[in-house]
Chains A and B, each alone.
Chain A
C-alpha cells in the first residue's frame, strides 16, 4: 500500500510539472478533466491512491505555476499578481530568484499550515460562522483603501476607472450564459497578454539570468509575510468566490509595502495554502473549495482521520519534491530563455493562450480576451498599479456578499 502511495505521489508530481508549466492552465480545469477519467482509473487502483496522485499533482502545480508566470508572463488565475513583479525581475536578470522566492513562500507556508491544522480543525466551524457575515464589508474597506491610498487626483481617477471597468467586466463574464472557464480569458488578458503585448511593443530583450544561491530577507519581514500568506490563504478556504488572487490583495493590505522579494514569497505562499487549506476545510467542515478536493470528495466521500493524515503526508512529500522540481525548472528556463528569440516566444505564448481560450471558452472567450487585454494595457500606460484590475474578481465577490 505504501509503495502504491509513493508511486502515486511520484506520478502526481510528474503530472503537476506538465500542468504547472503549461501557460494559463488552472488546476481546477485539470481536476475536472481528471474527474471524467476517475471511473476508468478506479478499475486499476484504490480511491486513496488516486486521491494521493491528484493531490500530489495539485501541490506540484501550485509550486510550478510561478515558472510560466515569471518567464513567459502568462499566469493562471492564482498567479495573476505574481506575473507583474516576477516578469520585472526576469527583465533584470533575476527570474530564478523570483521563482525561488515563491518556492520559499510555498514550502514554508505549507509547513506552517500543516502545523496549525490540528489546532484549527476543532474551531473552524465556529470561525466560519462568525466571519462570513462580515467578509463583504472587510473587502469593501480593503478596496476603498486600495483606491484612495495615493494622494493624486489623476491616479485616483485611473485607479477607479480600472477597478470599476474590470469589475463590470468580471460581473458580465462570470454571469455570461453558458460560457466555460470564464476566468481563463478574463485573467489571461488582464495580467498575461497585455504584459506580453507591451513587451513586444517596447522590443524587450531578456538579459542573461543570474542563479542566486542566497537571498537575504530580514527575519521580521519573513515572519510577517509567512503569517499574512498563511492567514489570507486560509480565508479562501472559508469563502466561496474568494481565490488566491483576492487573498493576495487582502494580504498586501495587512502587511503594507513589503517590497518585491517579500511580495513574491507572499503570493507563492498564498497559492499553496489556498490549495492545502481547502483539504483541511473539507475534512473539518465538509466543504470542498477547489477542483482537486472536489475530485477527492467524489472519489472518497467523507474522509476519516487516518485518511486525512495520510493525505497530509502526501502533501508534505509532494511539497518537498516540488520545491526541488520548481528550482530545477527555473534553472533550466533561465538558461533557455536567453537563447530563444523573445519576440517569437511572446507571439507563441499569445497564440497558445488564444487557442486555449478558443478551445475552452469558444469565440465569445476570444472577444472577452480582447476586452480584458485592452483593459490590462491601461494601467501601465497610465502609469498606475495594474493590481487594481483585480476588481474583476473583487467587485463580483463584494456584490455576492453584500447584495
Chain B
C-alpha cells in the first residue's frame, strides 16, 4: 500500500474511532465502586459510589459528607442547597482527588436512593 493511502486511512480510522469511542463512553454506565479497594493510585478517576451518609457539615460554598460502606470516604460537594441527612443512602458520581495523602471524592452528581 502506498504511504499516502496508508496515511489517509490512519487519519480517517483515528477520527472515526474517536467519535465511536466518545459515543460509547456516553452510553456506558459506571459500575459501583468498593471504597475498600481504592488505593492512592486511583487519584483522578471518575467513580460511582453508593453508601450511607455518616457525617455532614457545610461551609459557605461547600457541603462535606462522609459516606460509609465497609470503609469510609470523604465527599466534597460544591453546593449548599442540598436536603441530605445523616443516615441517607446516596449514590454519588464524582472524581477522586488526593487531599493530605487521602483519597477524597469531588461529587459531580448525587442522588438519594
Contact = CB atoms under 8 A, between A and B. Distances in A.
Q: State yes or no: do A and B come from one complex.
A: yes
Contact of B6 (A241, A291, A381): A381
6 contacts: A169-B18, A175-B46, A285-B101, A364-B24, A370-B13, A381-B7
B25 A177 contact: yes
A313 B44 CA distance: 33
Nearest to B43: A240
A291 B18 contact: no
Interface string A372-392: 001101100110000000000
B101 A241 contact: no
A400 interface: yes
B62 interface: no
Interface string B34-67: 0000011101101000000000000000000000
Contacts of A375: 10, 14
Contacts of A161: 11
A349 B28 CA distance: 31
Contact of A177 (B9, B20, B46): B46
B82 interface: no
B21 A169 contact: yes
With a 10 A CB-CB cut-off, give which of A28, A35, A165, A290 has the most chain B CB atoms.
A165
B71 interface: no
A240 B98 contact: yes
A201 B1 contact: yes
Contacts of B13: 370-371, 374
A296 to B, nearest CB: 11
A381 B7 CA distance: 6
A171 B25 CA distance: 11
Interface in B22-38: 22, 24-25, 28-31
B111 interface: no
Contacts of A288: 40
A362 to B, nearest CB: 12
B21 A177 contact: no
A165 B13 CA distance: 12
Interface of A: 28, 32, 35, 161, 165, 168-169, 172-178, 201, 240-241, 285-291, 294, 297-298, 364, 367-368, 370-371, 374-375, 377-378, 381-382, 400
Contacts, number: 86
A288 B30 CA distance: 26
A217 B63 CA distance: 58
Contacts of B7: 377-378, 381-382
A217 B44 CA distance: 41
A371 B14 contact: yes
A287 B40 contact: yes
Given A169-B21, A374-B13, A381-B10, 11 more contacts: A32-B41, A172-B25, A176-B28, A177-B29, A177-B30, A241-B44, A286-B101, A289-B40, A297-B40, A364-B24, A374-B17
Nearest to B39: A294
Contacts of A175: 25, 46
A168 B18 contact: yes
Contacts of A165: 14-15, 18
Contacts of A287: 40, 98, 101
Contacts of B44: 174, 240-241, 400
A374 B40 contact: no
A286 B7 CA distance: 48
Contacts of B46: 175, 177
A393 to B, nearest CB: 12
A389 to B, nearest CB: 11
Contacts of A377: 6-7, 10
B109 to A, nearest CB: 13
A178 B15 CA distance: 23
With a 10 A CB-CB cut-off, give which of A35, A288, A370, A371 has the most chain B CB atoms.
A371
Given A367-B17, A375-B10, A172 B22 contact: yes
Contacts of B17: 367, 370-371, 374
A169 B39 CA distance: 25
Contacts of B29: 177
B21 A374 contact: no
Contacts of B98: 240, 287
Contact of B3 (A28, A178, A286, A381): A381
A371 B21 contact: yes
A169 B21 CA distance: 8
B3 to A, nearest CB: 6
A375 B11 CA distance: 7
A288 B39 CA distance: 9
Contact of A241 (B3, B21, B22, B43): B43
